[in-house]
Chain A
Amino acid sequence: MTTHSAPSTTALYDIPGPLTRKRHLVYGVVSTILILALVGWVIYLLFDTDQFTSAKWSPFAYKGIQELLLRGLGNTLKAFAYAAVLSLVLGAVLAVGRLSDHRPVRWVATVLVEFFRAMPVLVMIFFIFVALKVQPLPALVAGLTLYNGSVLAEVFRTGINSVERGQHEAAFALGMRKTQVMTFVLAPQAVRAMLPTIISQLVVALKDTSLGYLITYEEFLHAGKLIASNLDYDLPFIPVVMVISPIYIGMCMLLSWFATWVAKRERRNPKTEAVDVAPAEPGTLLPGAQ
């Protein structure tokens, strides 16, 4: 309602005068009331369908159940940690492959990257789990690594390419080899510029660990399902969702905020050029998206 907090696209409307401000106030109040009414209706429905009965919430008071949830959360974080580290490594390897001077190497890396980005992660996880008969955790980690690794490879590659040309020309002029140019000149600059995008991709990996639920990996959501489908507690599906979602969303938000915080810091840093690289999240074969 105040113009000060308006977004950057203020070109869309004039600074409101007294009359418009009054009108906006009316819109604001009416829409807020509508939204609150909707929320109220949902809460009414929750009460109406007995979602707040003590039987449905009692499981969370038991130590065993709390431990089950914590173990699930630990397993989620474990899968995330493995997947994050391995996809960073795979991403680096594939990026080096795509930037190689040898055509066959470049070709193989390109095919791998394009293939793994075009496949649904879940299909890869299922393939590893069902066809290769791998245990749930390694299957989940392998699937996440292949997908996020190839997305990260593209991020690294665009990062390296976005470093000013003069940098690598100067390095070559000093007599450095290609490997030296890469490791001492280009990569450090690229990583700094890419850090926000890399962290955003890790958010994707964190979110996707929940796919482990579908291949019976005992992660957080799996623990929730166990509690939710328990007849003794009157099938507390909604309470479980209400407990689990904020934790999941909170974890991802924290990581997302970290990414934006890093991005803001980078933008203030005179040493790095503010390169805006398109978020690499959805795998794509579109040339224009890069």
Chain B
Amino acid sequence: MDVLTENFSLYGKGFLGTLELTVYASILAMVLGFVMASCRVAPVGSFRVLGTVWVTVLRNTPLTLLFFAVLLGLPRFGLVLPFKVFAVLALGCYTSAFICEVLRSGINTVPKGQGEAARSLGMTFGQTLGNVVLPQAFRSVIPPIGSTLIALAKNSAIAGAFSVTELLGTYKTLNELGYSIIWTFVWIAVGYLIITLSISALFNVMEKRWGVAR
């Protein structure tokens, strides 16, 4: 118990680090996911290829390898950025592949008539996708997007192991200070539970408000 009260600021810093990483990476993942999902259903072949390659490669890359390549590889390449930016890049790109697939399955659930109606009104592909299909698709895939973002929050632990200030990373410092390891981990676990449960609650509210029953 003392571990938490005596090191509250350290825990707090780790907790906020995880939260920050999760939020920024989520934004990047959502944006990239939307772009890639649009690419995958685009009428132009080269866009479709780009989307497919992006998703196939990133979905089959171990996240640890991606972190290794980004955090340790890119600097040798002459690209030096703060560790945190690298971590957000790796996490965001990795998760975007999953978001893209979720959205694509959402696009498939939108009734065909919606797209046809939009087209018969003279809408272009971009308008049909952006104004008619994607908003509905997003609403029907709120729960799976929620679980993808929960997975992202959990995956951010890897950044901690690569020494970005993050919740899991705090165990190293506390371990050196000689605190009971078991309790250290209990509080880390509680921290992650708070984050994942909050995301879950948030998405439940979103689903109640915007979810479509089909």
Q: Which residues of A contact B (CB under 8 A)?
A: 1-2, 5-9, 11-14, 16, 24, 27-28, 31-32, 35, 45-46, 48-49, 51, 118-123, 126-127, 130-131, 203, 206-211, 213-214, 221, 224-225, 228, 235, 237-238, 241, 244-245, 248-249, 252-253, 256, 278, 281-289
Nearest Cβ on chain B to A279's Cβ, whole angstroms: 8
Chain A residues contacting B1 (CB-CB under 8 Å) are: none
Query: In chain B between 61 and 87, which residues have their CB closer than 8 angstroms to a CB of chain A?
Result: 61-65, 68-69, 72-73, 76-78
B144 touches A123 (CB 8 A): no
With a cutoff of 8 Å between Cβ atoms, the chain B residues found around residue A221 in the complex are 62, 64-65, 68
B7 part of interface (Cβ distance < 8 Å): no
Q: A8-B108, A286-B203 are in contact. Are A123 and B157 (CB under 8 A)?
A: yes
**Is B48 close to A, CB under 8 A?**
yes
Q: Is the CB of B41 within 8 A of A9?
A: yes
Total interface residues on B, CB under 8 Å, equals 71
| A27 x B181 contact (CB < 8 A) | no
Determine how close the nearest CB of chain A comes to the CB of B11; give it in whole angstroms: 14
B interface residues, Cβ below 8 angstroms from A:
40-41, 43-48, 50, 56-57, 59-65, 68-69, 72-73, 76-78, 98, 107-108, 112-116, 119, 125, 128-129, 133, 142-144, 146-148, 150-151, 154-158, 160-162, 168, 171, 175, 181-182, 185, 188-189, 192-193, 196-197, 200, 203-204, 207, 211
B residues near A127, Cβ cutoff 8 Å: 185
Say whether B41 contacts A241, CB under 8 Å.
no
A11 (CB) vs chain B CBs: closest residue: B115
B64 and A213 contacting across the interface, CB-CB below 8 Å: yes
Number of A-B contacts (CB under 8 A): 193
Which A residue sits closest to B39, measured CB to CB? A31
Which listed residue (A225, A248, A253) contacts B62, Cβ 8 A? Answer: A248
- Shortest CB distance B140–A (Å): 10
* A284→B150 contact, CB < 8 A: yes
Identify which of A46, A207, A256 gathers the most chain B CB atoms within 10 Å of its CB: A207
29 contacts between A and B (CB under 8 A): A8-B108, A9-B133, A11-B112, A28-B46, A118-B196, A120-B156, A120-B168, A120-B192, A121-B154, A123-B189, A126-B161, A126-B168, A207-B63, A211-B64, A225-B72, A238-B76, A241-B68, A245-B61, A245-B69, A248-B65, A252-B61, A253-B56, A253-B60, A283-B147, A283-B151, A284-B151, A286-B146, A287-B143, A287-B204
